[in-house]
Structure 1
Amino acid sequence: MRALDPLALQALKDVPRAQFVASPDLSAQLSGHSIPSTLVVRTLLGYLPALTGNEQVLLIGAGSGYLAVVLSRLVRQVQVIENNPQILAIARANIAKFMPGNLHLHSGDGRQGLPQLAPYDLIISSCELSTAESLLPQLSPQGAIYYLGTRNGPWANLMLCRTDEQGRAQISKLGLIDFSRDSSEALIDLGLVDEMVVEVARAEARLLKKPVLHSILRHVDIDNINTYKALAQRLGIRFAEADELFKELDKQFFLSFSRTFLDHHRLLPVCKRDGRLVIASDNPDVKSELLEQMHPCTGVDKVLVTSNDFRRLWSVLNISGKSDGYVPPPQQALAGEAEAFAADLDNQVSPYLVAIYEAILFDAVSEKASDVHIERYQQRVRIRLRVDGDLYDLHHYQLTPAELAGVINVIKTRAQLDIAEHRLPQGGRSRLKVGETSYDLRIQTQPSLHGEHVVIRLLPQSGHALTLKDLGLSPGLTRQYRRLLDNPSGLVLIVGPTGSGKTTTLSAGLQELADDGTRKVITVEDPIEYAIDNIQQTRVRNNIGFTFADAMRSFVRQDPDVILVGEIRDGETALEAVRASQTGHLVLSTLHCNDSVDAIQRLFDLGLHRNSLASELLAIMAQRLAKRICPDCKVPAEPDPQILRELFPQQVPDNFRCFVGKGCPQCNGRGTRGRTAVVEFLQINGELRDVISRQPPLGELRWRALDAGLVTMRDSALELVLQGVIPLSELPRILPEERLAPEPRGGIRSSE
């Protein structure tokens, strides 16, 4: 194989391979040979004779068009023949981007060649041929045929066929061409990344000694699990989730390998089946041949898992390995409340218990849980995750009360809580890092009848909050919210019960301001749930007398444009928020109440003067969180008659429709995945300011707000149902019974 000349190198540079892999049809129609990597094309050009630029070439197999366009830069004419009309159409579309005048596509059987356009100086077949001798008559006197012979896995023999001086066919092997591709090349083929991102990721991976795929996923915003699934299919590897592999794990098999070796190579032995090793890894490029030398077997079956699932599997096996050395405390220390045994129990923090705690946290991260609940009922220990608002049991942890007490000690130690205190509730914080994401863990312990319970809230700290687009608000509400953020001063409230996503909505607005960068934003929060770059965030410290109100008085001297108060809890904070608004600041805050009109009454109850409130209040958004229908298994559904009767007492609209999720692997059979905000929006106009300044009864205030254009939560929820975003069954969960039916406006019930 010769070194490439400058013209060939320039052709490879001028023809970006990424231009030939952007079609969504490629994965279904084209093989690895059809979209050869740049290295494969370089290897092939190195085996060809030196080109003069005056050759006519016949290329058998159009593929994606990449090789054909590169050749068109190096020779006089390129004739391409392809028998698959779908592949031919893909190649034609890709080649048209470069408009080569010397490249011509033909439909036909490549094994027959194109005798009507012969002779050819070179015939190149990108397809496997059993023999090429039938094409020899189409060659010029000095011509040659280069074709792919038999394959052995990703390797293919490059064959040369020509005639000798007596006109006899001569066939020889030139060498092997490796058509295998790593994960980065497969991602390029799938159109998920470009070559520039891959080059940056490869350099970073070499520097940090980590898999290329992990570096790529840090640089691009693509769904993690779907990326792994697509890669597995592309590379011919089995993909599996941790819950599926838990059933196959063999503890003794895992313990027969060196932990250091496995951790270094990102390999996890699952089991041995029919003489073959089943190995899980989150790195599709990992070489598993060394395991065959370490353990007698007939071969290795690689299973691709996500990074989170790899950690979960490792933690479970790690727990099994460490449990052998764990000696539980005496049962009498748990049977009663005898403090004589408490000290011994509190001091026992074994690696086994640490491994259990970390495995639970990895499970929570993998399931995208917001909270972990660890509870004890007599001799039964229950561990649950809150996912999309509902609690689900983790059944693969069968802890004894003794082990639970030890795990709670681990939690307390990491959160810097008093491990000797079992009688009083305690609250603390710790941190967790999974991959590139850090989590702030808010720990709350609670004494109960049978022992302590623990709730852990997981708050991702990425430095970037959700955007307004990510919230899932309607385009109209998004525009109104964005317009509120542009106001020079005033008070904007986000209200709702605990866990309704108020802070997330506010943080999305802050992210918008941070991205804009033209205004100074200061926040005071308790605690800081989302760390956002370019926003000055401050935490309340009640233990030293630094409250929300104290922070507000200090902030107005920091020259801010926007102030966020994490929550208005008392009259002093409410008064300072209004004062900050009156001095020319936009103030954003949350309030715990049921709806937007209740929020006004709540502020009256906190002692705000009605005229001050009427002049400064800009808008109120009340919200609840509803489960999203899984987009991968969404189907039309028959509406529940009982819910319909409550929604439409008079008559159901003719065009009413709803959807549900039937359950699929992507949503773990639940039919829902993620949550979205259902919003009630009240814009304060001149008419409402007059009403607020009179402080009318709550009922009158509600219908006045309706007449002034209040977008009710019922309206927002129905729109999401019709769009197929949330199921109809969510409405009774987020709307009180009296709000399911149309509300009266101006004192007269609507005839909807």
Structure 2
Amino acid sequence: MPQQPENQPQQGSSGMGATPISITPTAQAGIGPELSPREELYQSLLKILHNATDLGIDRVAHGHLEASLTNPGSKQLLVRDLINQKIINRVQLARAFARHNRARELLSILDIPTEAQALRQDIHPRLRSLLRRERIIPVSIKKDEAGNVTDVHLAHDSPMRDLVLETNVREFFPATAVLHWHFSLREVAGAYWMAGESENIDSDMEAEALLDRVITNAIDARSSDIHIDPSIKGEPRAIIKYRIDGFVHPKEVITTEQLERLRVRIENLARMPKVNLNYANKGAFTRSGYDWRVQIQPHAGRLGPVPRIVLRRLQPDVMPLEVLGYPQDFIDKIKSASSSPNGVVFWTGPTGSGKTEAIHSAVVSANPMAKGLSVHTIEDPPEKRVPGYAVQMEIASEDPNRTGLQLLKSSLRADPDVVIFGEVRDSEMAKLVFEAANTGHLVFTTLHTNTAIDAIARLEELGINGFLLSYVRGIAAQRLVRRLCGHCKVPMPEPDDYTRYVFDRYGVPLQGANLFSSNPEGCANCNYTGYYGRIAAAEWLKPTKEIVQASTDRNYADLEDMARRAGWQPMGRMATQHVRNGITDAAELSTKILELAAESLTG
């Protein structure tokens, strides 16, 4: 575990660092009559996590927390195990620690006090740089009548006290000043610092500093991709854009000279081959805790080719299935398929629909590594770095020995139990995947189809039908829909006509629905879009004997009816349940769910 926090927070004059909750050791079953101060702290954290209703603790985690409270072992070690096993996460622990100390929790940019906005420019430039780099918000600085600093309130995302960081911060304040630590989400701190930056970048900024700024801003803005687009009109400038929640937003402008310096720096970092600007180039590098996939395209400028650069941020951590937004019955189906001894599990959907994230979450949920099974991944490029995976191989289509097909053949000769394979693109790949399933392997892979039912027809095109279809343990199809901003969403006392239509279409009852709609003006928290974050809307189909027989007979006329008898429901139903629960609105579904989008286009 990192540096441990002190049990008693320092006191301040502002009331923000109020006296912490007093935890009196109690004699419980299996727990001694006295606890050390540190054990007392972790006992308190376990209680807070167990009793909280707003920290996203699912029922599985709740059960583990309940067991930990009565476990006679070290509470500190129990908390560490809960973190390592991803039963709880660091944000949940940090918020519990803040509550133990009665500290503030800054969960939105709207939670940041007004005085903190002025501090952004008033503090020492070196301190500002340190706080910006570490994503720390200066909440307030209190002074006595003589003008001496007495209390400094800072907000950070770490649950543990970092003595090195605290020492660096103390350099800028008198030795008598008391530091008070509060909690802020990392993205909130990032948004705070981004709000104080100019959109005009100094034309003399060096490539290294520029790249650092662009990547830092992308992370703080929750961006999945960075687009650096040269001017279409041939002007000597390029626009830096960030894709946030599926939409691209322009942010900053740089010169074409900076663009060229940035290209050279990125190519060096990514160890990309030196090619003529008339040709595309690709690579990858690691920076600021993330892997970045690079694609450089030639843009036809007036004076010759100009690079267009796209950086995709690869999330290193695997999120639990519950966090992705699936309901419990859907999660149970995924876990059942992911625990199969052999077979094929498909995820389908367009690019950017969360297929890779879902597949790794499904594998980790079954935790084959803990059962002594060997997990191989073959991707372009590997997007998750999961402890316990035996080997991760990267597809290089330009190298005949590292194509997806060749790496899959190689993997199957290397004694895997579970294989994650990027995408089935042709019949040869499809036949090899099902051959692997037939010989005792469990394969997770993707297809580019719109629905789970379409995947059956696509497999037919790839030569997979009849008996082979019985090896399919499940087919998931999904989209990502935007969540309503929790700070500005508007209550909907009565559903409008379109919302009624959507509920009727998917057979979801309106009674008891907690309906909201997006605020067209938005707020600072959601960057004035009305939406913040995304959630999965999915469907699941497991081929039954009836479907396998229809595939054998090549009779797909009643495939949808057979799918419904197999328990399939269109992803629009799960999406409508999200609307019913106040997570999104029907207007968002009309742009993401295929059949609703088609209807809106045809009127």
After TM superposition, the score normalised by the length of structure 2 is 0.70
* Distance of 1:488 and 1:636 partners within structure 2: 47
Amino acid at match of 1:672: Y
Whether 1:499 and 2:352 are equivalent positions in the alignment is: yes
Three-state SS of the structure 1 residue aligned to 2:284 is: strand
| Other structure's SS at 1:499 match | coil
Look up the match of 1:103.
none
- The residue identity in structure 2 corresponding to 1:695 is R
1:221 matched to 2:89: yes
Amino acid at match of 1:686: K
Aligned-partner Cα distance in 2 for 1:650–1:683:
20
Q: Evaluate the alpha carbon distance shift between residue 367 and residue 571 of structure 1 in structure 2; reply closer, same or farther with a 3 A threshold.
A: same
- The Cα offsets for residues 572-601 of structure 1, whole Å up to 9 and x where unpaired, read as 101101111222222221001111122122
The correspondence of residues 247-258 of structure 1 with structure 2, limited to 5 A, is 249-250=120-121, 254=125
Distance 1:735 1:651, change over 3 A: closer
Which of 442, 449, 464 is the aligned partner of 1:586?
442
Q: Is residue 484 of structure 1 aligned with residue 484 of structure 2?
A: no
Which residue among 427, 437, 440 is the counterpart of 2:291? 440
Residues of 1 paired with 2:28 and 2:93: CA distance?
35
In 2, the alpha carbon distance for the partners of 1:565 and 1:614 equals 18
Q: What is aligned with 2:326?
A: 473
**CA–CA distance in structure 2, aligned partners of residues 224 and 627 of structure 1:** 23
Shift of 1:552: 3.0
Report Cα offsets for 1:37-87 as digits up to 9, x if no partner. Answer: xxxxxxxxxxxxxxxxxxxxxxxxxxx585xx8xxxxxxxxxxxxxxxxxx
Residue 318 of structure 1, CA deviation: 12
Provide the rounded CA distance (Å) in 2 between the counterparts of 1:618 and 1:237.
Answer: 43
Structure 2: distance between partners of 1:624 and 1:237:
32
Identify the residue that residue 622 of structure 1 maps to in structure 2.
Answer: 477
Shift of 1:550: 2.3
Match of 1:416 among 271, 291, 299: 271
Partner residue of 2:209 out of 349, 355, 364: 355
Deviation string for 1:618-658 (max 9, x for gaps)?
Answer: 32111111122345665532544245446647999652743
Confirm or deny: 8 A CA contact 2:132 2:193 kept in the other structure. Answer: no
Q: Tell me, what secondary structure is at the counterpart of 2:460?
A: helix
Within 1, Cα distance between the matches of 2:99 and 2:170? 20
Match of 2:587 in 1: 729
Gaps of 5+ in 2: 1-5, 10-14, 31-40, 51-68
Aligned to 1:3: none
The one-letter amino acid of 1:360's match is V
d(CA) in 2 for partners of 1:582, 1:649 = 40
1:684 is matched with: 543
The SS at the match of 1:527 is coil
How far residue 249 of structure 1 moved from its aligned partner, in angstroms, is 4.8
| 1:448-503 deviations in Å (ceiling 9; x for gaps) | 244322111111324xx222333321211111111112322222211111111111
Provide Cα deviations, 1:370-426, integer angstroms capped at 9, x if missing partner: 1111112234532222222222333xx442333233223322221223566322221
Q: What is the distance in 2 between the residues matched to 1:473 and 1:575? A: 31
Deviates more, 1:555-564 or 1:239-248: 239-248
Q: Distance in 2 between matches of 1:369 and 1:688?
A: 41
Matches for 1:124-163 after TM superposition, within 5 Å:
none
In the alignment, the residues of structure 1 paired with residue 172 and residue 239 of structure 2 have an alpha-carbon distance, to the nearest angstrom, of: 38
In the TM superposition, 1:338-487 aligns within 5 A as: 352-377=206-231, 378-394=235-251, 397-418=252-273, 421-433=276-288, 438-450=289-301, 451-462=306-317, 465-487=318-340
Q: How many residues are treated as equivalent by the alignment?
A: 525
How does the TM-score come out when normalised to structure 1? 0.57
Instruction: Tell whether 2:562 aligns with 1:704.
Output: yes
Aligned ranges 1:507-586 → 2 under 5 Å: 507-511=360-364, 512-514=366-368, 516-536=370-390, 537-542=392-397, 543-586=399-442
Deviations 1:490-520 (A, max 9, x none): 2221111111111111101211234542433
Contact 2:237 2:255 in 1 (8 A): yes
Shift of 1:235: 5.7
* Contact 2:424 2:445 (C-alpha < 8 Å) held by counterparts: yes
CA offset at residue 713 of structure 1? 1.3
How far, CA to CA, are the matches of 1:653 and 1:556 in structure 2?
Answer: 48
The residue type paired with residue 281 of structure 2 is: Q
Q: Distance in 2 between matches of 1:238 and 1:405?
A: 39
Percent identical = 24
Q: Distance in 2 between matches of 1:470 and 1:261?
A: 29
Q: Distance in 2 between matches of 1:317 and 1:739?
A: 38
1:301–1:400 distance in 2 versus 1, CA, 3 Å? farther
Shift in Å, 1:228: 11
SS at structure 1 position matched to 2:402: coil
Does the CA contact (< 8 Å) of 1:490 and 1:582 recur in 2?
Answer: yes
Q: Which amino acid aligns with 1:488?
A: P
Q: Deviations over 1:528-564 (max 9, x none)?
A: 1112121222222331423222233333333333222
* Correspondence for 1:717: 575
- Aligned partner of 2:246: which letter? G
Provide Cα deviations, 1:229-282, integer angstroms capped at 9, x if missing partner: 958994689999699878765499527x89899999x99999999988899785
Judge conservation of contact 2:579–2:586 (CA < 8 Å) in 1: yes
Distance in 2, matches of 1:733 and 1:262, equals: 37
1: distance between equivalents of 2:106 and 2:327? 40
Counterpart in 2 of 1:604? 460
Larger Rg: 1
User: Does the residue aligned with 1:532 lie in a helix, a strand or coil?
Assistant: coil
Determine the C-alpha separation between the residues in 2 that align with 1:261 and 1:34. Answer: 25
TM-aligned CA deviation for residue 363 of structure 1 = 1.7
Q: Which runs of 5+ in 1 are unaligned?
A: 1-16, 22-28, 36-63, 70-93, 99-183, 202-214, 328-349, 742-752
1:508–1:416 CA distance, 2 compared to 1 (3 A): same
The answer on whether the counterparts of 2:466 and 2:552 sit within 8 Å (CA) in structure 1 is yes
Q: Secondary structure at the match of 1:507?
A: helix
CA distance in 2, matches of 1:364, 1:633: 23
**Matching residue's letter, 2:359:** L
CA distance in 2, matches of 1:33, 1:270: 18
Q: Helix, strand or coil for the counterpart of 1:575?
A: helix
Greater length-normalized contact order (CA 8 Å, ≥ 6 residues apart): 2
1:659 pairs with 2:540: no
**CA deviation after TM superposition for structure 1 residue 734, in Å:** 1.9
1:321-359 CA-to-partner distances (Å, cap 9, x unmatched) read x96xx75xxxxxxxxxxxxxxxxxxxxxx7x33112112
Q: Secondary structure of 1:500's match?
A: coil
Pair 1:232–1:467, CA change in 2 (3 A): closer
Inter-partner Cα distance in structure 1 for 2:217 and 2:347: 32
Q: In the alignment, which residue of structure 1 is the partner of 2:35?
A: none
Greater CA drift, 192-201 or 529-538: 192-201
C-alpha contact (below 8 Å) 1:562/1:587 kept by paired residues: yes
Q: Distance in 1 between matches of 2:528 and 2:582?
A: 18
Distance 1:240 1:655 in 2: 31
- The 3-state SS of whatever aligns with 1:710 is coil
CA separation of 1:656/1:713 partners in 2, compared to 1, >3 Å: closer, same or farther? farther
Q: Does the residue aligned with 1:448 lie in a helix, a strand or coil?
A: strand
Sort the Cα spacing of 1:267 and 1:513 in 2 relative to 1 into closer, same or farther, 3 A. Answer: closer
Report the equivalent of 1:144.
none
CA offset digits 1:197-231 (Å, max 9, x no partner) = 88999xxxxxxxxxxxxx99x99724289849958
Aligned residues of 1:468 and 1:478 also touching (Cα < 8 A) = yes
